[in-house]
Amino acid sequence: AQSVTQPDIHITVSEGASLELRCNYSYGATPYLFWYVQSPGQGLQLLLKYFSGDTLVQGIKGFEAEFKRSQSSFNLRKPSVHWSDAAEYFCASNTGFQKLVFGTGTRLLVSP
Amino acid sequence: NAGVTQTPKFQVLKTGQSMTLQCAQDMNHEYMSWYRQDPGMGLRLIHYSVGAGITDQGEVPNGYNVSRSTTEDFPLRLLSAAPSQTSVYFCASSYNQGRDTQYFGPGTRLTVL
């Protein structure tokens, strides 16, 4: 069965510093991969997605993610974090068989 | 477009009560789904539907029923509420599955006493 692992429950980053959130997936073939963001009290919003082609994917709000098949990873990055980026981030995968599987999420705290 | 709407935003039930969480979308999406979100567990799929009249179980379906009589609506029914069903419930929709973006509603926070 497919699974998604986000090893970091919480991450604290200083405003202006770079950010990397880790995500590993478990599936034999390449799944469709997504990053969603959830602001407090809100639903989830798509940041970016990957399903084929260029392994570096650009998303909204200045985020990008890199797919690395050899490491089964899809890490999310941002070169300079803003206070408004404080939120919970979810990695998700879909093998195309109608079920989206989420990781447990990483809560990002931004310090001044 | 209103997108995906959910009602109510908050609900408190007593153990054994039943209720229906409403979900509607105005994007003509075929695929709709229900998730529950619990601390430290991410989002877990309860039920999903690939079109009107077609539903299937997700990862945690016990205690919940769904039906899909129209493309727009996908209600989630709690048959006999239990404290273990205290959670935040999200409805989502997309054109299809696989690579399509899922659009999420704002959620319903349910407390079962």
pLDDT in tens, B11-41: 999 999 999 999 999 999 999 999 999 988 8
- Say yes or no for a CB contact (<8 Å) between A98 and B97: yes
pLDDT in tens, A35-56: 999 998 888 999 999 988 889 9
pLDDT in tens, A3-40: 899 999 999 999 999 999 999 998 767 788 999 999 98
Q: Which residues pair with B28 in a beta bridge?
A: none
Tokens encoding B35? 């998730």
Q: Which residues of chain B have pLDDT under 50?
A: none
- Is residue B90 within 8 angstroms of chain A, CB to CB? yes
Give A91→chain B minimum CA distance, Å. 10
The helix (run of H) or strand (run of E) holding residue B36 is strand B31-38
Of residues B19, B15, B74, B26, the one with CA closest to residue B46: B74
Name the 3-class secondary structure at B79: coil
Contacts with B41 (C-beta within 8 Å, 6 or more apart), sequence order = A104
- d(CA A18, CA A79) in angstroms, rounded, equals 4
Please answer whether residues B109 and B88 qualify as being in contact, where contact means their C-beta atoms are separated by less than 8 angstroms. yes
Contacts with A13 (C-beta within 8 Å, 6 or more apart), sequence order = A19, A81, A108, A109, A110, A111
Give A23→chain B minimum CA distance, Å. 13
CB burial class (10 A; 0-12, 13-18, 19+) of residue A84?
exposed
What is the rounded average pLDDT for all residues in chain A?
92
The partner residue sitting opposite A104, judged by closest CB among B4, B41, B59, is: B41
Mean pLDDT calculated for residue range A99-105: 89
Write out chain A residues lying below 8 Å of B45, CB-based. 99-101
- Say yes or no for a CB contact (<8 Å) between B42 and A99: no
- Say yes or no for a CB contact (<8 Å) between A45 and B33: no
Cis before B106 (ω within 30) = no
Chain B residue nearest residue A97, CA to CA: B98
Give B53→chain A minimum CA distance, Å. 16
